[in-house]
Structure 1
Amino acid sequence: MTSNLQRSKTTQLHGGYDGSEPPLAPPLDASPRILKHGDMFALLNAHGDVEPTDLMGAGIYMRDTRRLSRMRLTLAGEALLLLSSHVTLETGALIADLANPDIWRDGDKILPRDTLHVYRTKYLWEGSCHERIAVRSFDLNAIETDLDLSFDVDFADIFEARGYERAQRGDVAVSVEGGDTVTFTYASADGERRVTRLRFWPRPTEIAERRARWRLDLPARGSRTVFVDLQCDPQAEAKVPPRRFFSQMRHACRSIMAQTHRGAQVETSDELVNQVFSRSRADITMLTTETAQGAYPFAGVPWFSTPFGRDGIITAWLMLWADPHIARGVLRYLAAAQASSDDPASDAEPGKILHESRDGELANLGLVPFRRYYGSVDSTPLFVALAGAYWRRTGNADVIHEIWPAVSRALDWIERDGDRDRDGFVEYFRRRPDGLVNQGWKDSSDSTFHADGRLAEGPIALVEVQGYVYDALRSGSVLARIMGEHERADRLASRANELLERIDRAFWQDEMGFYAMALDGEKRPCAVRGSNVGHLLFSGAARPARVGEVVRAMMSPTFFSGYGIRTVATTEARYNPMSYHNGSVWPHDTALAALGMARYGHTDDAARLFGAILDAASTMDLQRLPELFCGFRRRRGVAPTLYPVACSPQAWAAAAPFGMLAASLGLEVDARARTVRLTRPHLPERLERVMVRRIPVGDGTADIYITRAAGSVAIDVPHRSRGVEIDVKM
């Protein structure tokens, strides 16, 4: 039976094809949908569209260049209704359920809403975006309708998408080829050929430079499917889109599952917490890109989808107990990218470790300083310290021998260029006028200041950096001895001990009962209570007699918001819970503070912080921890206030739950001794039990179950490989 609407055998629902834009969509779910694989990422709305009006910087990007700046799907000339939208853990694909709105013609409703279901699947793989659009009718009559896809490519640099204004840029050429392909080509000023090719199947009924249309004949309760391939590699294999869609999805699924299930697996008594860990592991997998040196977790999407030295090191460290494979790739990549010459334009000095790497047109032209940028003071000591932690965790002598020349040069930088005034502290100052003013992890322009709010003038010695240097010297001593450089090993160990005393004398402030945030260029303490001190604990560079007072301060309401540790205490002059670095909560920052507390035996406080971060994550979209959130005091029944432009996902935020679990349990793995150690283990109040399976220990594994019991915990070991020991100290 067919419909007689509009005096036709078939309901005809067509939109005009006059080149004008379709009407704006109704309000959307404001949460973006993020896809990433390799050097490519997508920032989409919940419909799966690229709409600049919905999301700042929306688009599909490849190596810091936007390869799709607009894409909009409409049916019968109307915007679709959103039913549901999510990114799958198994394939990293966006799944969007959409439906038609009420369709009106000449004042008559000719099709009720929710008659046509549009099932949209989109994923990235090896430089391409693959999409399947399935339209299914639930009408008892046949329907004829138009499915329209409008699109555009501007080849904007990632910094342009963030607001950078440039005086001149190249031209974009577009061509229609063979009735099923549209190719955009950009005349880049840096000489690199950039191409976006869109291929459609089946061949559209109508095609133009920025739009494709399919006239769909839907039988009663019938369906039709359209495939779209977006290719950024001009040499990509020209397979038929349906074949590419299904074959590449199989490859993607196998690869993602293999990476996600590598290393230790965590399961708890709380289903929401399980979702937090699953999402965190999936995000680490998504953000990790295979480089020539191994796996490297890119910092975050959208603005930091590139290698960052500091971010990669801290992410690898937080994941080290569970998956040391990540640290191996990070160490090898950063060793290969180490600065070998003096270059003020990139803040490079021999032995210095990379801050950031960019591949976009603006970076290639030198219009932004980040092609290979070395403007961070902490990446170099953190690199050496991670190498030592990796050795303790894995005993992998082959990697240590491979990276030792880079470790040695990094230690030379710490003693030479890192400490130009030879006062025993590593300081920073920028050598390029448009480089970063502040070069610690809190790198916003107002993040280092005095008690009265005055900004500190450099060169600046951050307290946490001195902790990293202490750890680097100790680790360097151990590694030098492995390499047979015993005299150097002794000297590094002696320097570490001297630095420990020097930190306490210069940074401890009796009147605050806390360490100063930094020393300014005149060696005056910035007497500000900052979360920087949590990193000092993490490095083991605080005097044990001071730690109790420090931990009490950090767990007080001035620091602890109820959801995490604020970057500065509420008592400080520049405290602002909505700021980037002056009162907000960063999950990785709280995780490092928790690990620092655990290092000094305060695992009960670490467990409390872990519970707070889990509570925050449980309220987040997709149970995904963002880069940061606002530091307002926790209120009953109220979720954390989001920071509007936080990266989400962000690698070190995703790794934070794994680091905090280790802190709560006092968990360490010594592969050379084939031992898993638990020291004063605690659980957050919301967890009755935690099951950690397949902890890598040398060539073996161990499973450990932790259960709350009579104010303490009980430990069970259902499996351990032959020769693996479990050492528990309650």
Structure 2
Amino acid sequence: MKVFKNGNLMVVTDDRGIIDCESEKAAGLYLEDTRFISRMILKSSLTLRRLHTDFSWDGIETHYLGRSKPGILHYDIAVSESLRAEGNTLHAELTVRSYSLEEVRISFEYDINCVFEDIFSVRGENDSYNELESSRILSSSSRSFQYESDLERDTVENSLSARSLEIRPGEGASVSGKLRLGKYVKKDVVFKKMLSERPVKDIVPVKKTSLLDERELGDLKMLMIPTIYGDFPGAGLPWYATVFGRDSLIFGLQTVDLLPEITKNILKVHTYLQSKEEDSQTEGQPGKIVHETRLNELSLTGKLPFERYYGSIDATLLFIMLSHRYYSQTNDWDFIRSIENSIMEAAEWIDTYADLDNDGYIEFAPSGSGLSIQSWKDSADSVSFSDGRLAEPPLALVEVQGYLYDTFKCLEKLMALFEDGERATLYALKAAALKENFNRDFWLESENYFATALDKNKNPVDSITSNPGHCLMTGIVDEERAGALVNRLFSEELYTGWGIRTLSSKMRRYNPFSYHNGSVWPHDNSLIMLGLIKYGFYEKARQLARDLLKAKDKHHDNRLPELFSGLSVSETSGKLIEYPTSCSPQLWSIGTVLVISKALDA
């Protein structure tokens, strides 16, 4: 699968650059969580031999050869097909060069299939997705095509009509056209109102790093969503080309020192989408930061809660953490002052809603309408005891308490900036108490390691996972326990030679091909790397950085993917076993490359 994108239009092809869902299930033209077109294939009056396709972040160029007459000795017609995304529009240009001894007449047209499918239907994750209508046909001679429901009107404006060219010997000619996609939503949708129909802007890091090359910058531009608040990084292609709270905020933590302008855009958008009311369907609560926003039909109709969904236990904490890091990096007081109310509302959410039983820890108990696990490992089976039993909510996740500690420390400093000394002192006291209690309640003496969580009965969930590694980044781990934590992270049960597994190979639920129970996630490792640097484990940070780069080199498209198999280097004789549906490019993984650069320089 290949993807290109420059704006909100996304084009998915197979590995040869062909847009046809018969050769690649996900192939097509997408806009705002809807597949508008599932096939777009060039047809010609001559038989053309496809040579190769050149891929770039915003388009592809495919080269063909043909014979002007059947049976002649040599190919004498060269055709180049260029497809470029720009905003909501796909531009197509055909360039023909004739080496025939006679005048040649060639005709072209596109075979286009227009389907207007919900992106969740394309993924096929639930039987209910089959209720959506599909198989709407757009012929190559149509000027436009439209699908309309009670909630939306989707349109394709088509200027790719059939064309004929007459070319004299030794000369060339070209034709061009475009498809413009549009989605009009008939109800008031906050996310839709902030989108902008334009290509993305250039990305200019404030300082150079050797690992942020044209490939990574192109991948990042592909992920960008143009908004009225600036370009915002989507989570991953093709399935997560939208706003995700946790993903974007963690990317900000990874890159604020190199890409502060993107961090600023992230904070602006989350301020705009911040919840203002309680809503059990979307799990919204005043001050809470959004988990995910969608414009697909299932979300607009309410069959899925993702039009604006808030089922994330950590996004609000990460928002406060990133706000303070942005100020520390830029001294942009005017901007921080402009989002002061949002910071205060996020802090109020912590005090009012996040601690369900007033024990000092943040827990989640899902409402049943959305995600059952609301931390970054959001698979339903990702929080289990060592013997495989699933932990019952409310759950207090270990890394979330680390984020909470970091948040309290950030609020202490932010309140001082806002000239509220009383609250600054309050948050300093909260941070100190949390650190003391955390190192007592989450520590497993028998394992010399931290528990993954506390379950509904406050029992430590004793599985050995990567989660406690995030706590190093936040500073909540007592110095005398940091060494034991690091040694376990780099032990054979967790360390594969490519990176740190999500779950120890000694645990009952370990599966190196699972999503969260034994796989390796580069972003997970990047946050651990930041913690290793913070606590002075520089050589371990460099080791992890070098091994992740080896994994990048072994990946089929030389990218760090969303995740890969947890099989060790020794188990695979040095081959990286990939995860079949991993997003690539993926936002966190691009951020990981920049953290690797920091680790190598530490």
So what's the TM-score if we normalise by structure 2? 0.91
Matched, 1:377 2:337: no
Partner residue of 1:93 out of 59, 65, 89? 59
User: In the alignment, which residue of structure 1 is the partner of 2:144?
Assistant: 183
Contact 2:83–2:92 (8 Å) recurs in 1: yes
Q: Pick one of 408, 424, 430 that aligns with 2:344.
A: 408
Query: 2-side partners of 1:74 and 1:291: how far apart?
Result: 36
Match of 1:607 in 2: 542
Give the distance between the partners of 1:602 and 1:199, measured in 2 at CA: 59
Q: 1:504 and 2:439 equivalent?
A: yes
Q: Give distance in 1, aligned partners of 2:488 and 2:52.
A: 47
> Are 2:404 and 1:443 equivalent residues in the alignment?
no
AA in 1 matched with 2:96: V
Shift of 1:361: 1.7
Structure 1 pair 541–175 and aligned structure 2 pair: CA distance change class (3 A):
closer
Displacement of 1:424: 0.8
Say which of 568, 572, 588 aligns to 1:633. Answer: 568
Query: What's the CA shift for 1:54?
Result: 2.2
Contact conserved, 2:121 with 2:132, CA < 8 A, in 1?
no
Moved more, 407-416 or 68-77: 68-77
> 15, 20, 28: which is aligned to 1:51?
20
The amino acid that maps onto 2:156 is T
1:168 is displaced (CA, Å) by 4.6
Please state how far the C-alpha of 1:642 moved relative to its aligned partner: 1.5
Q: Is the 8 A contact 1:174 1:183 kept in 2?
A: no
Q: Is the 8 A contact 2:560 2:589 kept in 1?
A: yes
What is the identity percentage for the equivalent residue pairs of Structure 1 and Structure 2? 32
Query: Using a 3 Å threshold, how does the CA distance of structure 1 residues 278 and 573 change in structure 2: closer, same or farther?
Result: farther
Letter in 2 for 1:97: H
1:231 aligns with 2:197: no
Amino acid corresponding to residue 154 of structure 2 in structure 1: R
1:344 matched to 2:280? The reply is yes
The secondary structure found in structure 2 opposite 1:285 is helix
Counterpart in the other structure of 1:673: none
Q: Deviations over 1:660-690 (max 9, x none)?
A: 222333xxxxxxxxxxxxxxx3xxxxxxxxx
CA distance in 1, matches of 2:40, 2:51: 16
**1:657 to partner: Cα distance:** 0.8
* Structure 1 residue 395 displacement after superposition: 1.4
Give, in angstroms, the shift of residue 397 of structure 1: 0.9
Aligned partner of 2:209 in structure 1 is 266
Inter-partner Cα distance in structure 2 for 1:454 and 1:376: 23
List per-residue Cα deviations over 1:449-478 (Å, max 9, x = no partner).
Answer: 111011111011110000000000110111
Contact 2:104-2:166 within 8 A present in 1 as well = yes
**Contact 1:170 1:186 (8 Å CA) reproduced:** no
Alignment correspondent of 2:239 = 303
Query: Pick from 326, 330, 333: which aligns with 1:397?
Result: 333
Residues 219-265 of structure 1: per-residue CA shift (max 9 Å, x gap): 44543423230101489xxxxxxxxxxxxxxx96xx65x32x34222
Distance in 1 between the 2:136 and 2:593 partners? 47
Counterparts in 2 of 1:525-540, with a 5 A limit?
A: 525-540=460-475
Higher deviation after alignment, 285-294 or 365-374? 285-294
Letter in 2 for 1:198: N
| Alignment of 1:158 onto 2:116 | no
Q: Is the 8 A contact 2:48 2:65 kept in 1?
A: no
Counterpart secondary structure, 2:528:
helix
1:215 deviates by: 4.4
Q: CA contact under 8 A between 1:196 and 1:234: conserved in structure 2?
A: no
> d(CA) in 1 for partners of 2:137 and 2:166?
30
What SS class does the counterpart of residue 69 from structure 1 fall into?
Answer: strand
For 2:119 and 2:133, locate their aligned partners in 1 and report how far apart those are by CA, in whole Å. Answer: 15
1: CA distance, partners of 2:76 / 2:455 = 67
| Residue pair 2:249, 2:266 contacting (<8 A) in 1 also | yes
Render the CA deviation track for 1:106-131: whole Å, top value 9, x for unaligned: xxx72678654332222211211112
- Corresponding residue of 2:87: 126
AA matched with 2:209: V
Q: CA deviation at 1:641?
A: 1.5
In the TM superposition, 1:711-730 aligns within 5 A as: none
Paired AA for residue 265 in structure 1: K
Equivalence for 1:653: 589
Are the aligned partners of 2:115 and 2:134 in contact in 1 as well (CA < 8 Å)? no
Over residues 699-724 of structure 1, what are the superposed CA-to-partner deviations in whole Å (9 max), with x where a residue is unaligned? xxxxxxxxxxxxxxxxxxxxxxxxxx
Contact 1:595 1:660 (8 Å CA) reproduced: no
For 1:360, the equivalent position in structure 2 comes to 296
| 2:155 pairs with 1:195 | yes
- Residues 311-358 of structure 1: CA deviation (Å, up to 9, x unaligned): 010111111111111111111211121111111000111111100011
> Structure 1 residue aligned with 2:500, among 547, 562, 565?
565
**How many angstroms apart in 2 are the aligned matches of 1:79 and 1:577?**
44
Counterpart AA for 2:60: L
Aligned to 2:9: 40
Letter in 2 for 1:147: F
The SS at the match of 1:344 is coil
> Structure 1-normalised TM-score?
0.76
Residues 521, 301 of structure 1: alpha-carbon distance in 2 compared, 3 angstrom cutoff: same
CA distance in structure 2 between the partners assigned to 1:197 and 1:397 by the alignment: 45
Over 3 Å counting, the alpha-carbon distance change for 1:80 and 1:440 in structure 2 is: farther
Cα contact 2:496–2:568 (8 A) shared by 1: yes
For residues 441-590 of structure 1, what are the structure 2 equivalents within 5 Å?
Answer: 441-590=376-525
Contact 2:317 2:407 in 1 (8 A): yes
Aligned pair in 2 of structure 1 residues 620, 95: CA closer, same or farther (>3 Å)? farther
User: Alpha carbon RMSD of aligned pairs, Å?
Assistant: 2.5
Q: Distance in 2 between matches of 1:98 and 1:501?
A: 68
- Find the aligned partners of 1:280 and 1:566 in 2 and give their Cα distance: 24
Q: Secondary structure at the match of 2:115?
A: coil
How far apart are the structure 2 equivalents of 1:62 and 1:551? 44
Q: Report if the CA contact (8 A) 2:28-2:38 is conserved.
A: yes
Q: Whole-Å Cα distance in 2 between the matches of residues 71 and 531 of structure 1?
A: 44
Aligned residue identity for 1:631: G
Q: Displacement, 1:639?
A: 4.0
Aligned residues: 586
Q: Could you tell me which residue of structure 1 aligns to residue 190 of structure 2?
A: none
Query: Partners of 2:73 and 2:553 in 1: how far apart?
Result: 37
How far apart in 1 are the matches of 2:405 and 2:351? Answer: 12
Residues 346, 373 of structure 1: 8 Å contact kept: yes
Distance 2:99 2:592 in 1: 45
> Is the CA contact (8 Å cut-off) linking 2:538 and 2:599 kept in structure 1?
yes
For structure 1, list consecutive stretches of 5 or more residues without a partner in the other structure.
1-31, 205-213, 236-250, 268-273, 666-680, 682-730
Q: SS of the counterpart of 1:232?
A: strand
| Structure showing greater Rg | 1
- CA distance in structure 1 between the partners assigned to 2:384 and 2:247 by the alignment: 23
**1:398-420 deviation line (CA, Å, top 9, x unaligned):** 12111111111111211221101
| Secondary structure of 1:67 counterpart | strand
* Matches of 1:112 and 1:624, distance apart in 2: 43
- Structure 2 unaligned segments of length 5 or more: list them: 185-197
**Closer/same/farther in 2, CA of residues 527 and 141 from structure 1, 3 Å limit:** farther
